[in-house]
Amino acid sequence: MRVYIIAASPLTRAAIENLLAGRTVSVVGSGGSLEAVSDQILEAEPDAVVLHLADKTTEFLEVLAASHLANDVTVVALLDATRPGLPSDLLRAGVRAILPTQITREQLLAALQAAIAGLIVLDSVRSPALFSEPALLSASLAEPTEPLTPREREVLQMLAGGLANKEIAAKLSISDHTAKFHVASILGKLGAASRAEAVAIGIRRGLVLL
């Protein structure tokens, strides 16, 4: 796995890199903030971005939404603490895994593999609180105003597999523009703000096979 690390503290970046050290992971870059290195991340072509989220979560969510990074790269967040509503805010912004900073190497590697494969990963402490949030449940379970077409369901399944727009286009023998159009249509019909949220909603509605 190719991983990019973002953490404000150099010591924290070093600690995460040390946690990931091994033959199965290659750290392809690191930075102090998402805003400062967003262009460099795409150039490094990582499979995932591991982000240590210490504070200023509102600013981070705004930067993540503006960068559209989560459309192309799997984003995994490590949190020291959480506030009410933050996990669902992160999922809506496209984050695929929300984990505590006190995590073992084995747990982090397993979470990265699952998130890259298209799954949503939450630690056991946050899961009950997250799925009891009325706003998230209503958004996830409400019926779409318009059903997905067979092609859109096919594209949604590929999103669940972690495929980027270019990979979807290649598999379906369509243009990148058409693939992007299908993804945008899926997000609109499901009322999702990100690909990850669309997959989560699709799983709950039985539209995605695991």
Of the candidates 55, 204, 54, 189, the one whose C-alpha atom is nearest the C-alpha of residue 138 is 204
DSSP bridge partners of 49: 4, 75
CATH of the domain at 167: 1.10.10.10
129 and 147 within one domain: no
CA distances from 46 to 28, 90, 106, 146, 181 (A): 7, 20, 20, 35, 24
Q: What is the DSSP string of 130-161?
A: HTT-HHHHHHHHSPPSSPPPHHHHHHHHHHHT
The answer to whether residue 209 is domain-embedded is: no
Q: What pLDDT sits at residue 3? A: 94
Q: What pLDDT sits at residue 151? A: 92
DSSP bridge partners of 28: none
Q: What pLDDT sits at residue 125? A: 58
The domain in which residue 57 lies consists of 2-133
Q: What pLDDT sits at residue 138? A: 47
126 and 39 within one domain: yes
Instruction: Indicate the residue among 75, 99, 133 that finishes a domain.
Output: 133
The answer to whether residue 189 is domain-embedded is: yes
What is the mean pLDDT for each group of 10 consecutive residues in the chain (210 residues)? 91 91 88 82 89 73 74 84 70 83 89 84 61 47 66 91 90 91 89 83 76
93 and 34 within one domain: yes
Task: Domain count for the chain, please give it.
Answer: 2
40 and 126 within one domain: yes
160 and 96 within one domain: no
Task: Please state whether 87 falls in left (phi above 0), alpha (psi between -120 and 50) or beta.
Answer: alpha
175 and 108 within one domain: no
Rg (CA), the chain: 17
For residue 193, with 0-12 CB atoms within 10 Å meaning exposed, 13-18 middle and 19 or more buried, which class applies?
middle
> Which token pair is 26?
């290659």
Q: What pLDDT sits at residue 200? A: 82
Instruction: Indicate the residue among 108, 133, 158 that finishes a domain.
Output: 133
Instruction: Indicate the residue among 133, 159, 178 that finishes a domain.
Output: 133
CA distance 1 to 27: 8
CA distances from 95 to 38, 99, 173, 175, 200 (A): 15, 11, 28, 26, 11
Q: What pLDDT sits at residue 135? A: 45
- CB count, 10 Å around CB of 47? 18
Strands 121-122 and 97-100, sheet pairing: parallel
